[in-house]
Amino acid sequence: MRKVVLVTGAQQGIGRAMAAGFAAAGYDVAINWLDDQAAAEAVAAEVTALGGRAVALQGDVGRIAEGAALVEGTVAALGRIDVLVNNAGIFPRVEFLAMTEAIWDAVHSVNLKGSAFCGQAAARAMVAAGHGGSIINLSSQALRGTPLGVHYSATKAGVAGLTRAMALALAPHGIRVNAIAPGTTDTAQPRHGNTDEELAAMAATLPIPRLGRPEEIAALGVWLASDAAGWVTGQTWHINGGSFMP
């Protein structure tokens, strides 16, 4: 029986690469999208071309009921859930002195609360089905701090702590929980706050002097979900070209 993965925020970027990477590894894929149905359907077509079944599910992970509905929709359409990739995230750049409560709450709702409660819903489904599973949370190199992202850094540091605590809570159920903390990756997100020239200049300073590729982040996710990583839980995996070596 093919395993099933739900990838949140899969309409673009790292999420899209995760969907394709898991499909290539033999998974059926539930593709969560927020505001671009055509993009999600294109990801679903890519999954199908790779031999997997696909379902596209609209939902805002910052709303607990909608996150739970994503898990329910995955099980209804594909029969089970074995892996959750908590990829959905937002990063509205803002000066700390200009930050509002609304911006702070929006970022925490999606990045941290969404990861926690989507993880809870997925874990409940895994336990009810009587099998273990894997949850992969997306943190970020920004957990060490970024001046236009005090709110974002707080959530991504929170994801690392959340991952450790979830791993302890879910280990008795055979569910492993790990996090991936990418450095600057060639997606739309860093382009919202930087020009191509600025990104090239940043990349040139790295020990491996280039931006990360979404497919590289996805490859790590596929490995973390695999039996090869069966003794790995509670860890935050840094993949950043050597820019940050904790």
CB 51 within 8 A of CB 43: no
**How many whole angstroms separate alpha carbon 139 and alpha carbon 155?**
8
152 is catalytic: yes
Catalytic residue selected from 109, 115, 134, 140: 140
DSSP calls for 177-242: EEEEEE-SBSSHHHHTT--HHHHHHHHHTSSS-S-B-HHHHHHHHHHHHSGGGTT--S-EEEESTT
Catalytic residue selected from 3, 27, 139, 156: 156
Catalytic residue selected from 152, 153, 226, 243: 152
**How many whole angstroms separate alpha carbon 234 and alpha carbon 218?**
18
- Please state, in angstroms and as integers, the Cα–Cα distance from residue 153 to each residue in 100, 177, 218, following that order: 16, 20, 22
Q: Which residues are catalytic?
A: 140, 152, 156
